[in-house]
Every structure is written in structure tokens, then in C-alpha cells.
Amino acid sequence: MARVPVKWGILGTSMISATMAKAIRESSISELYAVGSRSLKTAMDFAHTHNIPRHYSCHQDVLDDPEVDVVYIGLPNHLHKEWIVRCAASGKHILCEKPFVTRIDDARTALAAVQTHGVFCMEALMYRCHPLINKLKEVVSSHVLGKITLFNAVYMADIVDLANPVEGGAILNLGCYPVSLIRLLAGSAQGKSMAEPLEITSLGRVSTTRNDNQGSLLMKFENDMLAMVTAADDISMCARFEIIGTKGSLRLISNPWLPDRTENSFIIHHYQNGETVKINVTAERSLYTYQIDAVSRHVLDGADQCMSMSRQDTLGNMMVLDTWRQQIARGTQPADNQIMERIA
């Protein structure tokens, strides 16, 4: 059983690992204890910069350190499955950077290892732990917008030069955010924790290396709810999210996937009286610290998952992303669009 403070180890020294290091230091119930890199110098430099007691030139050494309670996996996408399985086998709790893995079969393998060894595991879709998301769920479930008919989301960022050419692409690196938010809120509209699409249709364009640079996705949920998503990794930053209902609409002013402490706003427009209401959501802590606190609290409580991003939620999200990528790669839509059958 872990004790306060929960001791964290980090695999990888990327930009996101540096962000997570800062968040761990800001958490009152967590301690940044170790970092592992393939290079001893890189590990030493990272440890010095972030005041980390232990540094290792081998990722496995972090897992072998008996003082480490939780491991954050900040490695390239295609290495996630291997290190989730290794962490689980070493008895380490896990926070794995999104996307959890790169395909649905790998997700099943990784989660089976997690379940076998009884460790906590969560995919690091950090925005899910922010107060803004609870407010959006509250609005949707209250039916103030009436019956939800459409979600419309766009997430673009010029990160193609930063992305790993092996299993990178706009769908995994950016599309995971709007897909996960839509599945969450589609569930809220139906009184469930999440909802899975019944049908998926997609188009896109790929690079010379066969990575998807842009993709557009159309999903159909129960009760004829539709959702449209566009993601691109070679276009300037654009984050848009809108919900259309029979009584009103909701439009995010701020980026729903990068909420901060103060500027988290959305507008609700009521059709009947024409009234427009602006709602702002503030936060006590930084975005990533909310995520770290959530993981550490669940580990201290002996839980094996966090409902902000449950294992089933991760599996469902990966199923949509995998289907989206496959359709674009083939250039055609599969005859069988029954997503739920493939998740089971």
C-alpha cells in the first residue's frame, strides 16, 4: 500500500515529461523521485533541472526501484504497450501518456496485464480531471439544451515536425481529445458514464510516410445523435467545440482540451427567448496537477482505476481511433460499422 507522499518515477525526458515533472512537484500528496532515460547524461540533466533524487540510464531501472510507487510513461506512442506491460509486471501503478497505445489489440493486451497484476492504470487525457469537464457534463445532463442532436469539434496544431514518425499522426496525437470528449458527453446526454458510436465514417489525407496529417470523422450514436470531428497536425492551432440541442446550443470560447486556472469559458444560447449566457469555470490548481492528484489519491485509496478516464473508456476511445485510422488507410469505409461488437 502506498503512503503519502506517493513517489513517482518518469520514463522519458520529452517536453511532456518536463510538464509532468512540474505538476508532480506541485502536488501536495506526490513526490518526484526518479527519472529514466536511454542516455545517462540526459537523465542527469533532467534530474538536475527538476530536482529529482534518482536518475537512471535505463527505463527498467526505474521499475526496479522499490521506492517508486507510480510510473508516468512519457515515451513515444509505439513504446507504450511494452512499458505498460513491464510496469504492471513490476507491480508499479501507471499513468500512460495519450494515446494509450496505437491499436485496439495492443490496448487489450496492455489492460489484460494491468488486470492480471492488480495495479492502477490510467491514460493521461489530462483535461478529463479539470473542473471545466464536470461543468460541461452537468449542462448536458440537465437537458437545458434539450435533446442533443450534434457535436462538432475541430482540433488542429502545427506539430507535424515534433511528432514521432513511427505511429504518430493527427488522429492519435490530436483526434484522441475531441473523440474522448464527445463520447463522454454523449454518455452524459443518455445518463451514462460514456457512449460508444454505432457507426463511423471517415475521410482524410496521409503523408508520404503514410501518417495521417488530417482526418474528418462522422459518428452516429443512439437516439440519432451525430458528431463531427476534424483533426490535423500540420495546420496552425485551432480548437473548437460546439454542442447543438433542440432547445439551445453550447459553444466553447476557450480550448476545452487545454483548460487553465481562469480562462475557461463557454456560451449557451437559448433558442426560445434568444438569451445568451456566458459561463466561466475557474480552477484551484494547474491542469496537469489535477491529473497527478487524481492518480495519487486513487493509488492511496487502493483503487485500480479512475472514473475520470476508466479502462473501459480508454478501450472505447482506442476502438474509435483505430477504426478511423484504418478507414483512412484503406480509403474506404468497412461494410461492418458495428463498433460495439469490436469493443467486446
pLDDT per position as a tens digit, 269-292: 999 999 999 999 999 999 999 999
Dihedral over alpha carbons 297, 318, 315, 219 (to 10 degrees): 110
The pLDDT of 116-136, averaged and rounded, is 98
Q: Which of 319, 321, 106, 314 is nearest to 204 (CA)?
A: 321
pLDDT of residue 133: 98
pLDDT of residue 336: 47
pLDDT of residue 74: 98
pLDDT above 90 for 4: yes
pLDDT above 80 for 90: yes
- Reported confidence tier of residue 344, pLDDT bands at 50, 70, 90: low
* Burial of 293: CB neighbours in 10 Å, binned 0-12, 13-18, 19+: buried
pLDDT of residue 36: 98
Q: What is the C-alpha to C-alpha distance for residues 240 and 250, in angstroms, rounded to an integer?
A: 11
pLDDT in tens, 28-74: 999 999 999 999 999 999 999 999 999 999 999 999 999 999 999 99
Which grid coordinates belong to 88?
504492471
CATH class of segment(s) 6-125+288-301: alpha beta
pLDDT in tens, 220-249: 999 999 999 999 999 999 999 999 999 999
Which grid coordinates belong to 94?
501507471
Average pLDDT over the chain, rounded to an integer:
95
> What CATH architecture is 128-287+320-343?
2-Layer Sandwich (3.30)
Delimit the domains of the chain by residue range.
6-125+288-301, 128-287+320-343
pLDDT of residue 163: 76
Q: pTM for the whole thing?
A: 0.94
pLDDT of residue 91: 98
pLDDT in tens, 173-200: 999 999 999 999 999 999 999 999 999 9
- Reported confidence tier of residue 16, pLDDT bands at 50, 70, 90: very high
Residues with Cβ within 8 Å of 189's Cβ and at least 6 positions away in sequence, in order, are 140, 141, 147, 148, 195, 223, 225
For 55, list phi and psi in degrees, rounded to 5: -135, 145
